[in-house]
Structure 1
Amino acid sequence: MQNWERLTRQANRAYSNHAFSDAVELNQQALTQAEMSFDDDFYRDAESAVAAAAVSFLNIAESYTALGDFVSANTQYENAVNFLQAIIVRPDLDGEQRGLIMRTATHIRFEWELFSQSYSKHVSTQSKVLMQALSNAVSSSDTMVHH
Structure 2
Amino acid sequence: MQNWERLTRQANKAYSNHDYSDSIELNQQALQQVEQSFDDDFHQDAESVVAAAAVSFLNIAESYTALGDFLSANTQYESAVNFLQAVIVRPDMDEDQRGLIMRTATHIRFEWELFSQSHSKHVMAQSKALMRSITNVVTSQATMVRH
Give the alignment's TM-score, normalised by structure 2: 0.98
Per-residue CA distance 1:48-103 (angstroms, 9 max, x = gap) = 00001000000000000000000000000000000000011111210100000000
Aligned length: 147
Q: Which residue of 2 aligns with 1:92?
A: 92
Paired amino acid for 2:36 = M
Name the aligned partner's letter for residue 128 of structure 1.
K
Question: What is the CA distance between 1:140 and its match in structure 2?
Answer: 1.1
Instruction: State yes or no: 1:38 paired with 2:38.
Output: yes
Corresponding position of 1:69: 69
Structure 1: tracts of 5 or more residues without a match: none
Question: What amino acid maps onto 2:111 in structure 1?
Answer: E
- Matched residue SS, 2:106: helix
Letter in 2 for 1:7: L
Residue 51 (1) aligns with residue 48 (2):
no
1:1-147 correspondence to structure 2 within 5 Å: 1-147=1-147
Identity of aligned residues (%): 80
List gaps (5 residues or longer) in structure 2. none
Q: State the distance in 2 between where 1:115 and 1:134 align.
A: 26
Counterpart Cα distance in 2 of 1:97 and 1:22: 33
Task: Measure, in 1, the Cα distance between the counterparts of 2:120 and 2:26.
Answer: 26
Cα distance, 1:2 vs structure 2:
1.1
Per the TM alignment, residue 3 of structure 1 is displaced from its structure 2 partner at its CA by 1.0
Alignment-mate amino acid for residue 72 of structure 2 = S
How well do the aligned residues superpose, as a CA RMSD in angstroms? 0.6
Where does structure 1 differ by over 4 angstroms across 4 or more consecutive aligned residues?
none
SS in 1 for 2:35: helix
